Amino acid sequence: MFHLLQTDLSKAVTDVNSAGSYLPVALQILLVVGLIASWLGERSLLRMWDQLLGRIPGVGLVYGSTRSLGEAFLNRNSEQPFKQVVLIPWPHPGMWRVGFVTGRTGNALHARLGEELEVVFVPHTPNPASGFVHYVPKRDVIYLDWPVEEGLKVIVSGGVVQPAEHAIVPGA
C-alpha cells in the first residue's frame, strides 16, 4: 500500500499536467487516516495509556495501586471504602494518628490473635493515596464522629484544617 502511495505521489509530483493523478493519492491518504482513526476509536486513549503505564516495570505496580485507591476515593456509586474516621495509637501509646476503618478481619486472623481487630488505613500527609494498613485491636481504636471528607481534609492539610466539634463515639 505504501509502495502504491509512493508511486502515485511521485507521478503527481513529476507529471504536473495530469490533474487526475492527485485523486488516487488523496484517496489513499484518506484511507490511511481513516484506518488509523478507526483503530484509535476502538481503543480509547485512556485505556491505551492505562495499559502502557501498567507494562512499565516498577511503575506498573505503583500506578495500579494508586489508581485502585483513587477509584475507591472517587467512586460515589459503590459502597464507601472508608467506613469511619478513627484515631489509633501510633507510633507509640500516647500519640494518635488519624485513620479510616476499611473493614474487619476475617475469622482466621481473629482466632489466631485472640482478639477482635479493625483494619485501619492510615494515609500519609499530604498525599492520602499512599499510607499504611494497620490491624489494630478494637479496644485501642477511638471512633470519631467525623465525616470521611473531614478526616481527609485534616490529613491533606497536615493538621492545619481541623473539623468542627464532633462527638467521640465510644467503642462503636
For 22-51, the pLDDT digits (tens) are 777 777 887 888 777 776 666 676 777 778
Place 95 in a pLDDT band, splitting at 50, 70 and 90: very high
Strand partners, 101: 84, 120
Q: What is the 3-state secondary structure (H, E, C) of the chain?
A: CHHHHHHHHHHHHHCCCCHHHHHHHHHHHHHHHHHHHHHHHHCCHHHHHHHHHHHCCCHHHHHHHHHHHHHHHHCCCCCCCCCEEEEEECCCCCCEEEEEEEEECCHHHHHHHCCCEEEEEEECCCCCCCEEEEEEEHHHCEEECCCHHHHHHHHHCCCCCCCCCCCEECCC
What's the pLDDT at 21? 66
1-10, 54-63, 89-98, 148-157: least confident range: 1-10
Tell me what the pLDDT averaged over the chain comes to: 78
Q: Is the pLDDT higher at 121 or at 166?
A: 121
Count Cβ neighbours within 10 Å for each residue of 127-148 and write b for 16 or more, e otherwise. ebeebeebebeeebbebbebee
- Alpha-carbon gap, residue 137 to 110, rounded angstroms: 10
What's the pLDDT at 88? 96
**Type of residue numbered 150:** E
Is the pLDDT at 138 greater than 90? The verdict is: yes
pTM of the model as a whole: 0.56
Place 134 in a pLDDT band, splitting at 50, 70 and 90: very high
